[in-house]
Amino acid sequence: MRLVVADGGVLRQILEESHAIWADELTARAYAQYNLAQLRTPWGSRRLCRYALLDDHGRVLTSAKRYALRVRLDGREMDAVGIGAVYTPKAQRGRGHAPAIVNQLVSEAAADGAELAVLFSEIGTSYYERLGFVAVPRRELLLSVVEKAGAPMTLVRSGEARDIPAVASLADAMSRPHRFAVGQNEDYIRYGLSRKRLLSGLLPPGALTVEFFIVEEGISAVAFVILTTAGDDVVLEMCGDRDPAGARVGALLQVLRARTPAEDALKMRGSLPPNWLPPQMRIDAAATSSEILMVKPLKDGVLSRPLAEADVLYWHGDLF
């Protein structure tokens, strides 16, 4: 068996066969465009690669994406490897190929200096626990905006490219109080927005809406919100606020609510920083996330004690 970068015919086979699993209503052609376009973004071209494990005849045994992440853990920034989109053709399943590619990608990343491996499981925890990963408790919240007559006196506008440095600074500051968080920088923020906008543009018109808003004071962004909407499903992908209490984010959401007073109250799902809730918002329900965050230390002394839910800031927009 040999590990190769998945391109050409190998990549076409993987995308054709995995389309039914991860298409998100995309056509086969749009699904291929979506995956290729992510690899061509500035962040993706440096930090995202899809690999395949081939047999001696060049047949695809399994495949996976490898993300080169920067994370903050216990007050220190470090390199981490993210593993996603593990796919094994039906004829090759049950032969240990998927664990083989995960282990090889993690081992190579560790040799390159990664100190932590991260993945999300949609199949429970036992499979990846056998590979040394440990689940981190995470909940998905159902959030609503406190109703208010009229709109707050807050200047809200659509986010623009010129706002990205300020947004990255706000996101980075939000992550610092927590034991574990993905590092937030300008390229990573741009990648997250680009990925969502690519998906929106390739889906049928109106199927997915991506909204990026900021609160502006003076000439700079002091708070931001990124939302996606598919039908009645509104997702808070990420937010940030210079105010430690989050009052500007709450006011921003109240302004958005005031745009459509005749509609039902604005509800959204997503994650918030532990022990952080803007005064204009409330948590209506919470449930264990279907995407289970799992981590594996790759170096002695890393993750010396388990991560609890209250230790982790992981936005919905960080999912891969």
Residues 162 and 282 in one domain: yes
* Residue predicted with more confidence, 261 or 183: 183
Residues 111 and 193 in one domain: no
Q: Are strands 60-73 and 220-230 parallel, antiparallel or unpaired?
A: unpaired
Residues 253 and 303 in one domain: no
Burial per residue of 235-270, b for 16 or more beta-carbon CB atoms within 10 angstroms, e otherwise:
bbbbbbbbeeebbbbbbbbbbbbbeeeeeeebebbb
Residues 188 and 52 in one domain: no
pLDDT tens column, 61-105: 999 999 999 999 999 999 999 999 999 999 999 999 999 999 999
pLDDT band at 150 (very low <50, low <70, confident <90, very high): confident
Residues 187 and 123 in one domain: no
pLDDT band at 263 (very low <50, low <70, confident <90, very high): confident
- Residue 238, both tokens: 């990420």
* Amino acid occupying residue 117: A
Helices 28-39 & 8-22 angle (0-180, nearest 10): 120
DSSP symbol at 54: E
What CATH number is associated with residue 248?
3.40.630.30
Q: Are 61 and 1 in contact (CB under 8 A)?
A: yes
Q: What is the mean pLDDT of residues 122-127?
A: 92
- Residue 153, both tokens: 């006196």
Residues 29 and 108 in one domain: yes
pLDDT exceeds cutoff 90 at 301: yes
Residues 203 and 126 in one domain: no
Give residues with Cβ within 8 angstroms of 248, minimum separation 6.
Answer: 154, 215, 222, 223, 241, 242
- Domain count within the chain: 2
Residues 261 and 166 in one domain: yes
Residues 119 and 153 in one domain: no
Instruction: Determine the Cα–Cα distance for residues 191 and 124; give it in Å rounded to an integer.
Output: 28
pLDDT tens column, 151-209: 788 999 999 999 999 999 999 999 999 999 999 999 999 999 999 999 999 999 999 99
Q: Are 239 and 214 in contact (CB under 8 A)?
A: no
Would you state the pLDDT for residue 22? 93
| Cα–Cα separations (whole angstroms), residue 4 to 43, 60, 69 | 21, 10, 20
Instruction: Determine the Cα–Cα distance for residues 65 and 150; give it in Å rounded to an integer.
Output: 47
Residues 134 and 179 in one domain: no
Range of the domain at 36: 2-138+289-318
Residues 149 and 280 in one domain: yes
pLDDT tens column, 128-147: 999 999 999 889 999 999 98
Q: What is the mean pLDDT of residues 281-295?
A: 94
* Amino acid occupying residue 122: E
Q: Are strands 209-217 and 156-158 parallel, antiparallel or unpaired?
A: antiparallel
Residues 33 and 174 in one domain: no
Helices 164-175 & 186-202 angle (0-180, nearest 10): 110
Instruction: Determine the Cα–Cα distance for residues 279 and 148; give it in Å rounded to an integer.
Output: 12
